[in-house]
Amino acid sequence: MATPTVDPITLSVVRGVLETTQREMTLALEKTARSSVFNLAHDYSTALFNHTPEMILQGQDIPIHLGSLIPAMKAVAGFFEGDINEGDLILHNDPDYAGSHIIDTCMYYPVFYQGELVFWTVCKGHLTDIGGPVPAGYNPEAKEIFAEGLRIPPVKIWDKGKPRHDVLNMLLTNMRARRDQEGDFNALIGACQVGARNLVALMDKYGKDTVQDCIEVLLSMANKHMDKLISQVPDGTYTGTAVLEDAGHGFGDFDITATVTIKGETCHIEIASPPQIPYFINSYEGNSYSGVYLGLMMFAQLPPPYNEGLYRNVTVNMGPKGTLCNAKSPAPHMNCTTTPMETLTDAVRLAFEQAAPDKVSASWGHANGCNIAGWDDRHDEEYVTMVLASVISGAGATATQDGWHVRGPLCCFGALTSGDIEMLEHSYPIIIHRYSMIEDSGGAGKFRGGSGACWEVEPLDKPMTLVTFGEGRRIPAMGAAGAESKLIEKKVGRLEITRNGKTEVITDNVIETINPGERAANINPGGGGFGPAFERSPAHVVEDVRNGLVSIEAARIEYGVVFADAESLQIDEAETARLRASA
């Protein structure tokens, strides 16, 4: 399409209004939702599409939703092609229509102006339940997607403005905690409508054609921006392979490979992964887009706003159907937004690192967390929750600075918020003994990876069940630009259970029960470093040692910095020079 000519001032204003619209949709969603996964995990997205439908603005929210709405919107609009009417509202979660995992539910609201379909406002959010045999959806026993919950292909819940109570009732009847799910449906619907109202007001003010022209220009500008970034990379084919750990399922480790071919301003990404397995870590194509786009974003490092123009010259092939990253029904998939997505992201990131070695940041620690469940004597009720603090790993270092401490996991990139210690102890019968950074957990490098975190819990009154998930317990977060860690065991995740003074270290996904007086410490990985660790300035190493982030032993082994005096942290210059020269 030829790019229209628009007044540059109107263009800036339209762009501002689109961003405000997206922000207000996000706030409406976050404030009205009941689910703490919405509220604290920021596990939702809002997006605007044009009539094509091409994404014209993506909320900056969370990477695990970065890509999947783009194919999902197209699949949903395609399903109802010729039957999309003013006042319709479509709901969907199924990965066969490019949904991510079925607990993420999407609403699509077509916005009409003077009788014509002009926009779509779209929201997606992680519900607390989607039916199926296991509360909250994560069923490690599932051999098929049918054992994970309710699949919802595109379905109209409003038809020409009329709510379809029969359909809604059928859906909600299949879910636990019906009122919460209903509340979250309302939150998603409300956010779509906030967006629609703003867009109609925008067209009233500037006219539909002008607004559409501005949007076309914005898409084209994003396209040119990404083209420029890609064309700065030498033409060629770059490959990255990342290893997905066997976290106890018994099928062994898997390689995921990304091959990135750059030619001029075009970029083609090819994914190769092993055949799908009967365990819930398969990723359907829609979800895999998020992993690929996050890897791309770790190269592009763009500020918001994001639209589909960025990807006009980026093509992706997820590999043959029936593979881990391009799964087909009935593959179980619930864990896919973390595993294998983070390994897929690593593979793409690594391929781009070959292409742009000075630019691409190190990887972040993978999600390695736990859910807790038990009985609350205080209110005589059952409790179950995902412990967000247990997945917040260290961030990767960049070409300019150390990784942020405790900011992950990779698939969330800092978007999460762990709850306040006191509010968690108020809500659940637990005592949190520790939520802290860990010495030597950040990947070694000229710029150090961010620290991982330790979250240690003890149940009060009654036993507690812990369900652990994820990986990153054997392979540390990938460094960049030659960064390498030597003390691996301190940089990976694990679960430590202490009973009667004896501590057991667990590195598989397990279900464990602990009693009052016993403790479980979930330790998650640090981020990767950037650049050779022996190039780190000794002054920074001293600062890290002073702050308890690097041990004296690690300073010597990983950074080649030797201390003459452990108390004053006086450096032994000669020994440091000798050690660093010998490397």
Partner 1 sequence: MQTKYRLGIDAGGTFTDVVLADATGQVRIFKALSTPSDPTQAIRNGLALIEEETGITPQEIVSNTDLCINGTTVGLNALITHNGARTGLIASSGHEDSIEIRLGHKEDGYRYDPDYPPATMLVPRYLRRGVSERVLSDGTVRTALDEEQVREACRHFIREKVESVAISFVWSVLHPEHEMRAAEIVREMMPDVHLTIGAQLYPQVREYTRTSTAIVNAYLAPILQRYVSAVDAYFASLGAKNPVRYFQSNGGLARGEIVTDQSVYAINSGPASAPQAALNVAEPWGEKNLITVDMGGTSFDITLTKDGQANVSKNIDFLRYRIGIPMIQVETLGAGGGSIGWIDEMGLLQMGPQSAGSEPGPACYGQGGENPTTTDANLTLGYLNGDGLVGGRLPLDVAKARDAIKAKLADPLGISVEKAAYGMFTIVNNNMVNGIRRVSVERGYDPRDFVLMGAGGATGSHITALAREIGIKKVLISKLASGLCAYGQIISDVKYNYMAPAPVRLEGADAAAKLDDLFNGLEARGVSDLEADDFTRDRISIRRSLDMRYVGQVHECTVEVDPFQITEESLEKLKAAFHARHKELYTYDEPASAIEVVNVESTICGHVEKPAQMRIPAGQGSDKALKGTRPMVFDASGATVETNVYEGAKLGAGDVLHGPAVIEEVTTTLVIEPGWTADLHESGVYVVTYDPERDTRTAKPAKELAEA
**Given 244, 331, 437, 550, the residue binding partner 1 (CB under 8 A):** 437
Q: Which of residues 51-90 bind partner 1 (CB under 8 A)?
A: 60-61, 63
What's the rounded Cα separation, in Å, for the pair 482 and 530? 7
DSSP 378-424: TTTEEEEEE-GGGG--PPPP-SSSPPPSS---TTTTT---PPPHHHH
Position 418 contacts partner 1 (CB under 8 A): yes
Quick note: the x/- pattern for partner 1 over 533-552, rule CB under 8 A, is -------------xxxx---
Position 200 contacts partner 1 (CB under 8 A): yes
- The vertex-368 CA angle with 392 and 142, nearest 5°, equals 130
What's the rounded Cα separation, in Å, for the pair 396 and 388? 19
Q: How far is the CB of 503 from partner 1 (least distance, A)?
A: 16
Q: What share of the chain is helix, strand, coil (3-state, %, to 5)?
A: 35, 25, 40
How far the first Cα of the chain sits from its last, in Å, is 56
Position 398 contacts partner 1 (CB under 8 A): yes
**Given 232, 401, 503, 515, the residue binding partner 1 (CB under 8 A):** 401
Position 16 contacts partner 1 (CB under 8 A): yes
Q: What are phi and psi of 572, to 5 degrees?
A: -85, 95
Q: How far is the CB of 119 from partner 1 (least distance, A)?
A: 14
Position 329 contacts partner 1 (CB under 8 A): no
Position 161 contacts partner 1 (CB under 8 A): no
Position 162 contacts partner 1 (CB under 8 A): no
- Identity of the residue, 317 or 436, whose beta carbon is nearer to partner 1 in the bound complex: 436
For residues 198, 199, 201, 207, the Cα torsion angle rounded to the nearest 10 degrees is 160
Position 358 contacts partner 1 (CB under 8 A): no
Question: Quick one: which segment of 21-29, 77-85, 155-163, 364-372 binds partner 1 (CB under 8 A)?
Answer: 21-29
What's the rounded Cα separation, in Å, for the pair 424 and 422? 5
Q: How far is the CB of 69 from partner 1 (least distance, A)?
A: 16
- The vertex-477 CA angle with 476 and 480, nearest 5°, equals 125
- Identity of the residue, 177 or 579, whose beta carbon is nearer to partner 1 in the bound complex: 177
Question: Quick one: which segment of 89-97, 190-198, 506-514, 531-539 binds partner 1 (CB under 8 A)?
Answer: 190-198
Position 431 contacts partner 1 (CB under 8 A): yes
Specify whether the CB–CB gap between 476 and 396 falls below 8 A: no
Amino acid at 294: L
Q: Which of residues 226-245 bind partner 1 (CB under 8 A)?
A: none
- Identity of the residue, 462 or 546, whose beta carbon is nearer to partner 1 in the bound complex: 546
What's the rounded Cα separation, in Å, for the pair 119 and 55? 10
Q: How far is the CB of 31 from partner 1 (least distance, A)?
A: 5
- The vertex-221 CA angle with 215 and 226, nearest 5°, equals 130
Q: Assign 116 to helix, strand or coil.
A: strand
Q: How far is the CB of 420 from partner 1 (least distance, A)?
A: 5
Position 404 contacts partner 1 (CB under 8 A): yes
**Given 419, 529, 532, 538, the residue binding partner 1 (CB under 8 A):** 419
Q: Which of residues 35-54 bind partner 1 (CB under 8 A)?
A: 36, 39-40
What's the rounded Cα separation, in Å, for the pair 398 and 342? 18
Position 34 contacts partner 1 (CB under 8 A): yes
